[in-house]
């Protein structure tokens, strides 16, 4: 699995499931406290092995949004579950977002409902919630300012953005969301929900995304 070293934490990526959804394990180097970001199908065993290998302890599961491919195994974890309030209903009633799936997803109740600019501690590291609706109403990015790292979910991919033609898509909310990301330092390393990583500086179109991706 791709493994990225940052000054304060390990970041391990687990591409999983039928459409290559990225789960990320963040492990604080000082405390060994770990958080999982997204829980796609067929990722649980890989994540458990990584937690054991690094002698870490998993303390929370954070969802970038609640589309089926990101929540498929969320109910298998017995740790606090964090999700933005606008995407919470699809956890307690999977499929209520109107997006069809070919697998059964177990319902789960969120522990904490997130909002824009909330701060999440993972060991000694601090992550800011950036609410980025557009792909789904409750989409978020997680930004660690100290280590210039941003987990962008399905808001930003390398050279592209999350789909807007789904039942949860809201183009009018996506453009301001992408402008938020454009304001981050250009050397911020971005890790998306699908595909390879990028940096803010490699995506100069962010500030005018509507011109490229709008209808």
Residue 1: what pLDDT?
72
- Give residue 213's pLDDT: 92
Q: What is the reported pLDDT for 214? A: 82
Contacts of 118 (CB under 8 A, 6+ apart): 128, 129
- State the Cα–Cα distance between residues 72 and 38, nearest whole angstrom: 9
Q: 62 is in which domain, residue-wise?
A: 3-213
101-139 residue pLDDT tens = 878 999 999 999 999 999 999 999 999 999 999 999 999
* Structural domains counted in the chain: 1
Residues, the chain, total?
Answer: 215
46 and 21 Cβ atoms separated by less than 8 Å: no
Q: Are 34 and 48 contacting, i.e. CB atoms less than 8 angstroms apart?
A: no
Nearest to 14 by CA among 59, 56, 45: 45
> What's the pLDDT score for residue 100?
86
Put residue 63 in one of left, alpha, beta given phi > 0 → left and psi -120 to 50 → alpha: beta
The token pair that represents 32 in the structure block = 């060994």
Beta carbons within 8 Å of 198's beta carbon, 6+ residues apart: 156, 157, 158, 159, 190, 192
Banded model confidence at residue 204, pLDDT cuts 50, 70, 90 = very high
In this prediction, residue 215 has a pLDDT band, given cuts at 50, 70 and 90, of low
pLDDT tens digits, one per residue of 61-111: 999 999 999 999 999 999 999 999 999 999 999 999 999 887 899 999 999
Per-residue tokens: 119? 């701060």
CATH classification of the domain holding 42: 3.60.15.10
CA dihedral over 122, 42, 84, 183, signed as positive or negative: positive
- State the pLDDT at residue 102: 79
pTM of structure: 0.97
């Amino acid at each position: 699995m791709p493994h990225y070293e940052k000054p304060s934490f390990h970041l391990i990526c687990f591409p999983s499931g039928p459409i290559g959804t990225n789960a990320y394990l963040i492990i604080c180097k000082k405390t060994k406290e770990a958080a999982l970001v997204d829980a796609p199908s067929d990722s649980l065993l890989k994540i458990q092995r990584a937690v054991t290998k690094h002698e870490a302890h998993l303390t929370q599961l954070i969802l970038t949004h609640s589309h089926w491919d990101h929540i498929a195994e969320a109910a298998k974890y017995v740790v606090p579950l964090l999700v933005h309030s606008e995407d919470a209903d699809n956890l307690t009633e999977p499929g209520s977002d109107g997006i069809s799936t070919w697998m059964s997803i177990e319902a789960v109740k969120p522990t904490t409902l997130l909002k824009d600019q909330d701060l999440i501690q993972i060991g000694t590291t601090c992550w800011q919630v950036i609410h980025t609706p557009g792909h789904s109403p409750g989409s978020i990015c997680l930004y660690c300012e100290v280590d210039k790292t941003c987990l962008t979910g399905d808001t930003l991919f390398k050279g592209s953005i999350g789909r807007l033609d789904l039942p949860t898509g809201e183009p009018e909310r996506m453009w301001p969301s992408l402008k938020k990301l454009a304001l981050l330092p250009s050397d911020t390393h971005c890790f998306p929900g699908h595909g390879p990583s990028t940096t803010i500086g490699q995506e100069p179109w962010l500030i005018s995304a509507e011109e490229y991706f709008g209808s």
